[in-house]
Structure 1
């Protein structure tokens, strides 16, 4: 009969159980803290209409409809019609989600939204324009900003660039068929590159 070598279990040192459970608790809290820390301190994202289908991340192009107001309800900016022909891109203003392209609070908050949802985004002054708002924006220095935002859709920057290239090629082909840039459907005034953010109004466009 083969003898089984028995290796005695070493007793757990005094206090180790406590340390073990503390480690497990810390790991759980860190995991839960991902959700708690998702929206940076000071930025609040309140859901008005639930979305679905995931959230955009840095490097994506988001298509949003928005209205920006001051704390007293004064509207200082809102999105306009899409700069692209219908059916090519989703409705809404295209915004490239990169640091420096949008005010920090908008850049951070929009990544917590889901496709198709509507939200109320509150941005403290230090994550908006601080003491230096854009000239003629109507935004007083050190103003907190409030945005009503609908995240219509989003896509990767690479997908957006491919769509723009396809659109440019289609417009050039149509231009050739119509006899030059002066004819109907010519390419003059067409998009000249991938979506880079909202029009040059104040927030949430690049103003840094």
Structure 2
């Protein structure tokens, strides 16, 4: 409990007491009280807000923004942590993604490198041959670049998730005819686009009772 020596008013804590001195008795303060008030105002900052919480808030905000930046821009798809820099590989292969009878046409402009901006894995030249330009590109990452999320038993496209466990739903995630774990399988391809058939053939198929 603090009691004002100038007017006798009582305060529950020192902060309230010092604020009172600054607001009500600025011209009456003794040298000691003036130093206490100056220290209090310094801690609060020029706008009267405690600087400690403000600093912590700024640090926290910067940390959140950094996480968002790394996730959205550095990643450019899932599983990006182990993907090498662009230019560390140059391979090619083929792909087929069919969802409920609709085959994704990767030769469309929306899937080309000019639109995705991803130099690690993309399609180019108006073809559906995939181009891999970095080491460590997993199947999960490759499809994630183009907005298709895959696991061993699920596929998410355009906000809809298809699970093998759902009634009447079949999910196929294969490379060269063999089931793979997309988060671990690193795709391999031919050195020339003209020999893409010799590279990994990615096959993702979803069938439901409605297809």
Same-fold status (TM-score > 0.5)? no
Q: What's the TM-score, normalizing by structure 2? A: 0.30
